[in-house]
Amino acid sequence: MRISTLWSGLAALLLAALVAAADSPSASSEVIVTVAAPRAVDPVTRFLETVHLLKPSIFYDFVHHLTEYKIRPKLTFSNPIFSPGPRGEGGRSEPSRYADHNPIFTRHCPANDTNSVLELSLWRSMLFRETGMWPSLRLAVAGNLAQDQVEEMYAFHDQREAEVDKPENTVTNCTTWIDVGSTKVCDMKQFWTTIGNVQSLQGDVIEIPGVQPKVEAFDRLLPAVRNDSLPLVVLYAAPTDEAFPKLFERLYALASGTAPRLQLAVRWRPDPENLIEGYRSSFQAEATIKEGLEVPETQDAKVFSDRAIAFVRGAKDKFAALAQVATQLPTVAEQILKTPVRRSLPTTTTLTEKFLVNGRAIAPEDLTYRGLLDIFSHDLRNLMGAQAATHGFWPNAAKQVIFRANTTLESPRKSATSLAVPTVDRPLRFVFPSEAFKDTGYNFTRTSFIEGATQETDASDEEGDPPALATFWVVADLDSASGRKLVKNALRFADQTTQVRFSFVHNPSESSPAPHKFSLSRIIPELIANNMSIAEVFPSELIAFLEYDATPESPPRRALDDIWTSESPLTPYIAEGATNEALAQEYWSLATPFAQNLGLQPGEAAVVLNGRVIELKGSEFAPGSFSALHQYEMKRRIKPVVDVANQNLPYKVKDDRKAKADLYAWSTAIVSASVGERRWPTPEQVKGLATFTHGNSTNSLFDVVAIVNPVSPFARQVAPVLESLKAHQFVHQRVYLIPAVEPKLELAKLTARSFPLEINIDEDQSERPPSAIFRGLPEGAVLDVKAFTLEGEEIPGPGGLGGESVRAPGKRSTTSSSDVEEELVHSTSFASLPADLLARIAAWVRVGDGTAAVLALGTTCKRLRSACEPFIFDKLTLETAQATVQAVEELGGLSTTKKSPTSPGSRIGPLKHLKELSIKLETVFPLSPTRPRLFASLSALIAPQLTSLEVHLGPEHTVQPFASICPSEAARKALSTLPNLARLQLGNVSVWLHELVEMMRGWENLKALHIDLIRGDCTRTSAVLKIALKCRLRSLRIKTSSMTNEMTAWLLEGHSELEELALPVQGFDDRMLASLEKVMASLKTLDLRDMWADHKRTATPRKADLGKSKDAASADDESFTIADKEIELPPIFRMLKATSCPDALHLNPTILPNGMCTPEGISAIAASMLEVETLAFDAFPPSSSVYPAFAAAIRDDELPFLKHVEIASQSGTGKTKASTQGKGLKELQSACKARNIAWTLASE
């Protein structure tokens, strides 16, 4: 039974004890504390206000999406009032009264259905898709962060309703009403009557008589910015009032669009007919033991603390055990005393207790809903800002850079001569990249840089230079004398080092004269627009141009020996200047917002280095000042960030020096602009400590590290938060238990805290009140209980303050939820062209696919052919053994030594350019050429510069061993010494795992591994598993495997950047699922096959049989059962639901049991793969019930992002009648066609 006692007072306090029959005399019980809120807020208002809190810009669009009710979630409502009526004579059901009315805008929708509709509708509205925002939304909803603002609206409504006029002879007792010129109207008919019916036929701005309401601080407007030319109309709304959607839609139509007729404000009011209870989400409770709980004596508090660490370390649920020890120590003290001290645990430590979020220390008093939301929002902004730095910089790599760079935020000095050193008057100031570049153009953000150079720098060596570690933005009036001097000083510094790059921003004053054709503000835009040739300008060249101080009246005077050759991008501007005035105006319109975003007034100057802002208020910034600032920032901020970034570079950025420079600049700015320093405990500091974790460290956005002693006051504050954070999808937690120096044991008081991260639903579909729970109490124990706000203010109970004695009667039972060729033909002057231009032509040829034209010119222009060879012969496909031998003989070049032309050292011909090699042999035992000649040719082709190697052996029906192409140890060793190999594909070839591993140790840059068969050697498993591979794969495809799951898990280890995975496994055990979960973060294509699955298929159970018994479920996998209320998902789909579904998913009978191939089963599965875009069916028979089941799911829009369905292969039809074959396929094809989903059917 359930016993509850309600306390009332200024804020009601509810203490409830949930009792169940005890199983034994030692059964424990629980006391549950809940606290009522001053005013209850309905779930719809709470959710909508929370959405506005997190993303104000979508508020009105989302409310419109809900009230319009055109895109409806697939949901069966528990209240039968929303169900269709009985079938009529024609066999059709009568529509529900609410068929075109969103059920959440009624008083009949339970909390569970309301929350589900709101979340599904927000997801499908496409308005709220930012990474990491959904857990923050649930956190804010659970914390009821909108409560104070809604209560303010409620109070204001009560006051306003008493003030407005209520016309006679009209209905004014409505719940939702409109404030029109201080007049209360209840519907649109009254609205038009009040302002004049003639205005309903017009399209101009509405004129409203009377006194308009004022804009309040809590208002959100449509249009968003107050426009005094539009009348303000206020809708006082209760979402549970059925009149609300229609009124909102009419007013929304008048306030939205390009020509709004009024300005709308929605304010919430309570619904007097909807009586609901409200509860505080966050509070803490204390209990003092009066009787019934004897606490054993402790002799040595230090030993007791060590026993407590051992007790937590040995618990099954370590987070729950830590919370119990920290907050309710008396209930487990006896068990702790019986726990032996582990001698392996250290007795001293240099660490102090801390709670770190992404390396930043958080005070316990800041661990509130709003505090955590601010922390998560701030760090999420940092991650998204870093991700915008360059393509492919995903959050899992960005967090390693942003949160683990040990930068320094020094204290300002009283005074300093150098502007680089922060002082009290000139403190450190940083700008966040997304704020600095707001409203700027791509050309300015990415391609406006002049790179540093030295005397030895040559233009042809540009791509070989290291990336610029430091990025300067110089803001000034570029055409003024001071601005030109600042630019020349910057360029003189840039002329001394290749570690920097400069971008110049024109910020003219209002009195600046118009620029002329020789002005720097006119030259820079044309250099950028002219194929980004500004990057090819040497700093010394631009300095020389500025020294002319040229004007149209006094153009530059050139000397015979000046530097202006045809290779310099500035040469054309010496004589003509910049002639495109419109181009300059357009460029600066997209660049000058940068100066405004820094807070500079027109004409003011500043220097920005990797986010550090130094305003130059009349101060001179000499070349030495640039050097001093560069050295200062390199030591404290840039170098630490660069060191970490180089370890986490995205694949596409590693060879792109400009992208790396962008990443360094943005990352340093983000790290520096973050609040506070970030520090992590070192491996030496935590060595030997009891440690436990929760969450996926690869997919997490927020890494929480707690360093605590279980019996300390600090642990009492943070342990409940750690237990609650287990529910956060993007939080990874690591807890270190440290010994105490002088522990103070709390053996007389129990504490508990209410801190749910999500809304909890009770069995009756209502919302379960947030509660603080005292667990593990003996039956009959008496406690004095008090409740407090998180600020320490006591919440009054019965009769006022002082608490209440409560007896714990029993035990709680719980229930678990993407044309050059023609010019070459007609050109006759290639032989005289310079070598660098020939190389460019060769590149154009490759782009234009003009290989045939180049080969035709080969006999007349050897220089051109030589220049084109790297682009023509970088890829080679050989389809026979004879072709392989001939390729080496004809393309290997002439050797000047006596070596065989097939030896690798003699290759001086076109094959020296070979990078991608594909060999297809019909047999490895050819009669002609002989096998030794074939192997010699293969050895000559495989050389260190290869980046891609594909070998396919025939015949198709026989898998050939790897030894057939590499029979000797020397051949395998040569193959393993390919440092540049990025892709390996072995078709119709089997390889032993230990052979593969030995070769992979030398392939550090391997990104794609495709092998038809890997054999696992159990005798060498231990030796193989000790090897750590350096490569990080992006694509792994294995057709067949005899590896154990232990070997497969080892092969997957460390490849967190996998984008494509096709893999056979030997069952989905916990280890296999854990390994798969670690590589899911970046995965785009997934194709798994269970080699141990029973391939014998049985008929799909009929709907009438579902849920009757276990035998009625799938006969080939008894663990997959379908019941009326709940469907247990297969392991792989449980994992997808817990992580995320790739864009492309391959389904086959080994992972999708026959018993799941029903509309109900597929509907359950579809919930775990909502984001899938491509669905491929492999090896299902044409008559399989999987096709009509998925057809039903597609028709019901349960896969909203599906774009393509592919029937990749089909198994044999067996004894299925020909008349039934393909019927399900046709149904699936029809459903795809109706939803505009692409359809591909592979030929059998």
90-104, 543-557, 942-956: which has the highest mean pLDDT?
Answer: 543-557
One domain for residues 1152 and 1022: no
**pLDDT value, residue 1244:** 44
Q: Say if CB 1151 and CB 1088 are below 8 A apart.
A: yes
pLDDT of residue 851: 47
DSSP three-state, residue 716? helix
Kindly give the interhelix angle for 133-142 and 369-387, rounded to the nearest 10 degrees. Answer: 170
Residue 270 · residue 233 · CB < 8 Å: no
> What is the pTM for the complete model shown?
0.61
281, 754 Cβ separation under 8 angstroms: yes
468 has pLDDT over 50: yes
Last residue of a domain, one of 673, 701, 729: 673
202 domain-assigned: yes
CA distances from 803 to 33, 246, 389, 795 (A): 12, 48, 56, 9
How wide is the angle at C-alpha 581 spanned by C-alphas 577 and 584, nearest 5°?
95
Rounded CA-CA distance 118/103 in Å is: 11
pLDDT confidence band for 820 (50 / 70 / 90): very low
- Asked whether residue 132 is domain-assigned, the answer is no
Strand ranges (E), 144-209: 177-180, 183-185
Mean pLDDT, rounded, for 810-838: 44
Decide if pLDDT at 169 tops 80.
Answer: no
For the chain, the domain total comes to 4
Percentage helix, strand, coil for the chain under 3-state DSSP, each rounded to 5:
35, 15, 45
CA angle 1021, 1027, 1033 (to 5 degrees): 105
CA distance 955 to 943: 27
Percent of the chain at pLDDT > 70 equals 83
1131 with 1098: CB under 8 angstroms?
A: no
840 and 969 housed in the same domain: yes
289 within a domain of the structure (yes/no): no
Q: Which residue has the higher pLDDT, 774 or 964?
A: 774
Of 82-91, 222-231, 661-670, 1010-1019, where does mean pLDDT reach its minimum? 82-91
For range 794-806, the mean pLDDT: 65
pLDDT digits (tens, 9 = 90+) for 687-742: 889 999 998 888 888 999 999 999 999 999 999 999 999 988 889 999 999 998 77
Tell me: do 1039 and 1154 sit in the same domain: no
SS (H, E, C) 508-549: CCCCCCCCCCCCHHHHHHHHHHCCCHHHHCCHHHHHHHHHHC
Q: Cα 946 from chain centroid?
A: 34
Burial zone of 878 (CB within 10 Å; 0-12 exposed, 13-18 middle, 19+ buried)? buried
**Which residues neighbour 854 within 8 Å (Cβ) at sequence distance 6 or greater?**
824, 842, 845, 864, 865, 868, 872
Res 790 pLDDT > 60? yes
The listed range with the strongest mean pLDDT (394-403, 654-663, 812-821) is: 654-663
Residues 1037 and 1113 in one domain: no
Whether the per-residue pLDDT at 1126 is higher than 60: the answer is no
Question: How much of the chain, in percent, has pLDDT values that exceed 90?
Answer: 28
Helix or strand or coil: residue 194? helix
Burial 137-162 (b: 16+ CB within 10 A, else e): bbbbbbbbbbbebbbebbebbeebee
> Residue 421 domain-assigned?
no
1191's tokens: 């057809």
Beta strand 450-451 pairing with 360-361:
unpaired
Contact 314, 69 (CB under 8 A): no
pLDDT at site 385? 82
pLDDT at 798 (0 to 100):
56
> Does the residue 774 lie in any domain?
no
What pLDDT is attached to residue 43? 93
Contact 164, 183 (CB under 8 A): yes
Query: Do both 1112 and 1040 map to the same domain?
Result: no
Predicted local confidence at residue 483, as pLDDT: 93
- Cβ atoms of 545 and 539 within 8 Å: the answer is no
Please report which confidence band the pLDDT of residue 87 belongs to, taking 50, 70 and 90 as the band edges.
Answer: confident
Residue 3: which pLDDT band, with cuts at 50, 70 and 90? very low
Residue 437 vs residue 977, higher pLDDT: 437
**1116 band by pLDDT with thresholds 50, 70 and 90:** very low
Residue 809 CA, chain-centre distance (Å), reads: 47
d(CA 742, CA 1204): 65
Across 402-416, 520-534, 849-863, 868-882, least confident range: 849-863
Q: Are 381 and 132 in contact (CB under 8 A)?
A: no
Mean pLDDT, residues 1237-1243 = 79
- 1145 with 1028, same domain: the answer is no
Quick check: 912 pLDDT over 50?
Answer: yes
Which pLDDT does position 461 carry in this prediction?
A: 45
Query: Does residue 699 form part of some domain?
Result: no
- Which is more confidently placed, 545 or 402? 545
Per-residue pLDDT, averaged over 572-591, amounts to 90
Span 502-558, pLDDT tens digits: 999 999 998 889 999 999 999 999 998 876 688 889 999 999 999 988 888 888 887
If asked whether residues 846 and 986 sit together in one domain, one would say: yes
How far is the C-alpha of 680 from the C-alpha of 407, rounded, in Å? 12
Least confident piece of the model among 441-450, 462-471, 611-620, 1044-1053: 462-471
User: In this predicted structure, what is the pLDDT of residue 555?
Assistant: 86
Question: Distance (Å, rounded) from C-alpha 505 to C-alpha 486?
Answer: 12
Distance separating the N- and C-terminal Cα atoms of the chain: 63
Give Dmax (Cα) for the chain. 115
Is residue 927 in some structural domain? yes
Helices (H) then strands (E): counts for the chain: 40, 36
Q: Please give the average per-residue pLDDT across 1071-1094, as a whole number.
A: 83
Distance CA 667, CA 405 (A): 10
Characterize 392-421 residue by residue with b for buried, 16 or more Cβ atoms within 10 angstroms of its Cβ, and e for exposed: ebbbbbbbebbbbbebeeeeeeeeeeebbb
Whether residue 1040 is found in the same domain as residue 1129: no
- Quickly state the pLDDT bin for 942 (edges 50, 70, 90): confident
Q: Which two tokens stand for residue 650?
A: 């995205």
Query: Would you say 757 and 376 are in contact if contact means Cβ atoms under 8 Å apart?
Result: no
Q: Domain range for residue 512? A: 433-673
Provide mean pLDDT across the span 918-937.
Answer: 78
Q: Which residue has the higher pLDDT, 860 or 781?
A: 781
Q: Rounded to whole angstroms, how far apart are CA atoms 660 and 121?
A: 40
In which element (H, E) is residue 16 found? Answer: strand 13-18
Distance of CA 318 to the CA centre of its chain: 28
The confidence band for 184, taking pLDDT boundaries of 50, 70 and 90, is: very high
Final residue in a domain of this structure, among 648, 673, 698: 673
223 shares a domain with 165: yes
Residues 1040, 1119, single domain; the answer is no
Q: Domain boundary at 1046, 1074, 1103, which? A: 1046
Average pLDDT over residues 746-757: 88
Map tokens 């070769």 to a residue. Answer: 999
Burial of 1109 (0-12, 13-18, 19+ CB in 10 A): exposed
Distance CA 283, CA 36 (A): 11
Asked if 831 and 863 count as a contact pair (C-beta separation under 8 A), the reply is: yes
| Whether the bond into 778 is cis, omega within 30 of 0 | no
Average pLDDT of the chain, as a whole number: 81
1052 neighbors 1041 (Cβ within 8 angstroms): no
512 and 659 together in one domain: yes
State the pLDDT at residue 1243.
Answer: 56
Burial-class residue 250 by CB neighbours within 10 Å (0-12, 13-18, 19+): middle
Side-chain half-sphere of 931: how many Cα atoms within 13 Å?
Answer: 8
Contacts of residue 199, Cβ cutoff 8 Å, sequence gap at least 6: 192, 206, 207
CATH classification at residue 483 = 3.40.30.10
Contact (CB, 8 A) for 626 and 609: no
Report the DSSP beta bridge partners of residue 949. Answer: 917, 984
What single-letter amino acid sits at 1162? Answer: I
The model's pLDDT over 601-640, given as tens digits with 9 standing for 90+, comes to: 999 999 999 999 999 987 788 888 898 899 889 888 899 8
Sign of the four-CA dihedral 201, 207, 210, 213: positive
Judge contact between 1155 and 1100, C-beta under 8 A: yes
In a domain, 791, yes or no: no
What pLDDT score does 542 carry? 92
**Minimum mean pLDDT among 315-329, 808-822, 934-948: which range?**
808-822
Classified as helix, coil or strand, 232 is strand
pLDDT at 317: 92
Query: 810 near 778, Cβ under 8 Å?
Result: no
Residues 1036 and 1099 occupy one common structural domain? no
- Out of 592-606, 1089-1103, 1106-1120, the most confident range is 592-606
Q: What pLDDT score was predicted for residue 503?
A: 94
Per-residue pLDDT tens over the stretch 27-49: 568 888 888 888 889 999 999 99
Q: 858 or 480: which carries more pLDDT confidence? A: 480
